[in-house]
Structure 1
């Protein structure tokens, strides 16, 4: 009789127990260029989300979703964003003191590069050669650290839909040079075997740091992800993933 009562008690406890429900956290990105995001669904950001999910951080499951930069900015400013944002800098959101949002440590860094044709290289160290040159920029993008240099260079700005489109225009001779992230330039050159056709000059500017941003109402989830991102640069497993895009 005692065994029967015990079994019934265990059965009732199992029936009444609440199932563990995973909390899905959407991570937004406005990046649409390689190697951060590739057209086939791969890229450093999708791989990072996969890496975080493999770490099984409590009940959290992360899902990456693209959102255009302007819409993302509006949602952050009006407080309607329903998730975190990957790959941002405090300087881009007037939050140098890091009070408006929660910010992770930098998990990657990049630099701006001036890409031109190897047959007709454009050098940032030769100001006279910049005057009147057409430079491809991406529509809606900010270029912190080089805005002043751009304004004084007297180059003719041409805004395109994406970095890739600007590089295609460069190869067609419709632009004299293009400003892109160094990682993007290196990946494009390797993926398309363009080392003999394109010239890359690194611009003198502070590095672009990639961080995770979270609204304060996501503090609990952010508290689990932030320590992992802080150690990311020292993780051999993650560095092996990064190496596939270099």
Structure 2
């Protein structure tokens, strides 16, 4: 009888898990540039969401959705965000001590780069080229460690809606250079055959970290994905995916 009772308990537990409704978690991104997001729907972020769904984390399923950066920040600040946010770092949200939101370990790192036309390079190694140079930056973005350097160098900020739009402005001669993530710059140069036309200089600043941010109301779901994100850098399967964008 004891064995029968135990078997019934196990069966009931399995049925309960099977019948538990799936919980869809929306993951927002404000990124609209390669290699994070590609025009055809691929990209590192869609691939990461697919990776999380393949891990079958309980009843959780994840869906990626774009939201403009300014609107995203407003919804985070007023507490109306109904999901998590991918690819952020605490410094961008005045949360260095990580008390406002829940933050995963960094699952990727990047650096900022200064990109200009090879025919008229703007370089940190040539201070004279920086004075009065117009530099494309993304509207509303904070560049830790770089904002002060731009001001000291005598550069003139020109804000645009996105990194890609800023690069377009530079190619049209409307700005002298742009500050973008190095991974984005290298992908763009390779994909468009512009390695010889563009000059890239990696900026001496702390690496930018890509993390998952969650409001504390999503703590239960966050606790399931945080361990998975923590081990991404050592997961060969994920590293093979990353390598396709390098």
Q: Give yes or no for TM over 0.5.
A: yes
CA distance in structure 1 between the aligned counterparts of 2:224 and 2:87, rounded to whole angstroms: 18
1:161 positional shift: 2.2
Structure of larger gyration radius: 1
DSSP-derived class of the 2:157 partner: strand
Alpha-carbon distance in structure 1 between the residues aligned to 2:197 and 2:151: 28
Please state if 1:46 is matched with 2:51. Answer: no
Q: Partner residue of 2:75?
A: 75
Q: After the TM superposition, which parts of structure 1 deviate over 3 Å for at least 4 consecutive aligned residues? A: none
Deviations 1:44-85 (A, max 9, x none): 101100000000000000001111111111111111111111
Aligned residues: 232
Aligned-pair CA distance for 1:94: 1.3
**After superposition, where does 1:168-179 map in structure 2 within 5 Å?**
168-179=168-179
The C-alpha deviation readout for 1:130-182, integer Å capped at 9, x for no partner, is 11111111222221120100111111221222211221222222221111100
Q: d(CA) in 1 for partners of 2:240 and 2:86?
A: 20
Equivalent position of 2:147 in the other structure = 147
Residues 185-194 or 165-174, more deviating: 165-174
- How far apart in 2 are the matches of 1:192 and 1:66? 24
Give the corresponding residue for 1:190: 190
Structure 2 unpaired stretches of 5+: 1-11
Separation in structure 1 between the aligned mates of residue 209 and residue 184 of structure 2, nearest angstrom: 15
How far 1:43 moved relative to its partner? Answer: 0.8
Further displaced range: 103-112 or 19-28? 19-28
Q: Which position in structure 2 is the counterpart of 1:25? A: 25
**Distance in 2 (alpha carbons) for counterparts of 1:68 and 1:174:** 24
Partner of 1:92: 92
Q: Distance in 2 between matches of 1:91 and 1:158?
A: 22
Match of 1:136 in 2: 136
C-alpha RMSD over aligned residues? 1.5
Range that drifts further, 206-215 or 126-135: 126-135
| Farther-moved stretch of structure 1 (86-95 vs 18-27) | 18-27
> How much has 1:19 moved relative to structure 2?
2.6
What pairs with 1:117-136 in structure 2 (closer than 5 Å)?
A: 117-136=117-136
The alpha-carbon deviation at position 236 of structure 1 amounts to 0.8
TM-score, length of structure 2 as denominator length:
0.90
Q: Distance in 1 between matches of 2:202 and 2:233?
A: 22
Give ranges in structure 1 of 5+ residues lacking alignment. Answer: 1-12
1:114 alignment partner in structure 2: 114
Match of 2:163 in 1: 163
Q: Distance in 2 between matches of 1:95 and 1:156?
A: 28
Give the stretch that moved more between structures: 188-197 or 171-180. 171-180
Give the TM-score of the pair, scaled to structure 1: 0.90
Matches of 1:71 and 1:169, distance apart in 2: 24
Instruction: Provide the residue aligned with 2:55 in structure 1.
Output: 55
Report the CA distance between 1:241 and its aligned residue.
Answer: 0.8
The match for 1:8 is none
CA shift, 1:41, in A, is 1.0
